[in-house]
Copies of this chain bind each other. A is one copy, B any other.
Amino acid sequence: MANLLHHPLCAFSRSIRLALDECGVEVELEEERPWEWRPEFLVLNPAGTLPVFIPEEGGAIAGAYAISEYLADTMDERPVRGFQPFPGDPAARAEVRRLVDWFHRKFQDEVTDYLVVEKVFRRFGPQSSSPNMEAMRAGHDNLRYHLTYIGHLTETRSWLAGDAMSFADLAAAAHLSALDYLGEVPWEEFEPAKNWYALVKSRPSFRPLLQDRVAGFTPSGTYADLDF
């Protein structure tokens, strides 16, 4: 079986777990603690980042970008399923990728880095320290802007990038689910974003993520609740 090196609260890992499941690729999960800089891990991905996908035939595909595109490149090798990471014509695919970049780069830098990395990964890192309150405040402010943007996109589209669910939805939901685990998402104030998230959250691919538990961090009361 294929393997995936991941961390339960890493948004990049979460997006790939969702994509693998939606594509019908079974993997065995191996939890990796990237802050430990394990030499065997750095051989697989010298950048030291998660996730890393080890296909059944061997080799290592490192990072959410390479893995998501690899899943699209190898669609023909798998039984046909409904989900395509980058559906549509070249322009539609470009819109999916613009939004993947939006969440995996902009949202990561403006929200996830502040709220998840500060709160969780900083505690485990070599220089364990308390969260920086100013950073967390910036993260909360930015999150509200991003939730508004998600609502804006869903005003005219069924899914974030268009008529079909794509990797853009999975990337966005991955970040939000990590924040939601920590109880950081003010859903009740952002109804359209909440309605979109409820759709993604109810996918069977989401179930394993809702069972994740990280020692030292109890998930928020509604984290696993489909009727949140």
Contact = CB atoms under 8 A, between A and B. Distances in A.
Contacts of A67: 94
Contacts of A93: 69-70, 73
Main secondary structure of the interface of A (DSSP, over half): helix
9 closest cross-chain pairs (CB), A and B? A66-B97, A73-B90, A66-B94, A61-B94, A70-B94, A66-B98, A62-B98, A65-B101, A63-B101
Interface in A65-113: 65-67, 69-70, 73-74, 86, 90-91, 93-95, 97-98, 100-102, 105-106
Contacts of A98: 45, 47, 61-63, 65-66
A167 to B, nearest CB: 12
Nearest to A109: B109
A10 to B, nearest CB: 15
